[in-house]
Amino acid sequence: MKHSSVLPVAWVTLRTLIVLNWVYGALIFLFLLISFRAEEWTWRALGVGSIAGHEGIVAGMRSIMVIGIVSVPIAFVFFRQLLRIVRSVRAGEPFAVENAGRLKVIAWALLALQVLHICVVAIASAVSTKEVPLRISGNFNLSGWLAILLLFVLAQVFLEGARMHDDLEGTV
C-alpha cells in the first residue's frame, strides 16, 4: 500500500503535541503550586494586586488552573487515539473495528473539553470584576460541537465499513 506523505507528518505532529500537552499540564500545576507558596508575587504578576478584597477572583483563577490540569489527560486520550488511528492507516487497516471505537473515544474527549471550556467561561464570568476583569472568550463555537457530532457519525460509518469488510473477507 502506498502511504500518503501526510501520515508521517501527522505521526510526528501528534507525538510532539503529546509531549507539549504534558509540559503544558506540568507548567499549570507548577503555577498553581506557586500561587499558594508565593501568593503576593503570583497575583501581582497576574495583575490582581493585593489579595485582600480579591479572594473570589483568586479562587476563580485557581479553579481555572485546576480545570486546565484536568484537561491534560483528556487531551492525551484524544491525541493517543488519533495516533493509533494513524498507525492503523499506515498498516493498511483503516476500517478496523478498533478505529470506530477510537473515533467514539475522541468524540467523548472533545465533548469533555467543550464542557470544561464552558466551565472556565462560567467561572471567569462569575469572578470577574471591574478592577480585575478576566477576559476569556465565551463565544459559542458551533464548529466544535459539529465536529463532535461528526465524529460520532464517522465512528458509526467506520463500524459499518469494518463489518462490510469482514463480511467481504468471509465470502472470499
65 φ, ψ (degrees, to nearest 5): -65, -40
Residues in the chain, pLDDT under 50: 1
Supply the pLDDT for residue 163. Answer: 81
Supply the pLDDT for residue 51. Answer: 63
Supply the pLDDT for residue 161. Answer: 83
Supply the pLDDT for residue 109. Answer: 98
Supply the pLDDT for residue 101. Answer: 94
Are the beta carbons of 88 and 94 closer than 8 angstroms? yes
pTM for the full model? 0.85
Cell numbers standing for residue 127: 469572578
Supply the pLDDT for residue 94. Answer: 81
Indicate the Cα dihedral angle 150, 155, 159, 165, nearest 10°: 70
H-type alpha helices, 38-94:
39-45, 55-90
Supply the pLDDT for residue 50. Answer: 65
Q: Is the dihedral of CA 93, 75, 159, 6 positive or negative?
A: negative
Supply the pLDDT for residue 91. Answer: 87
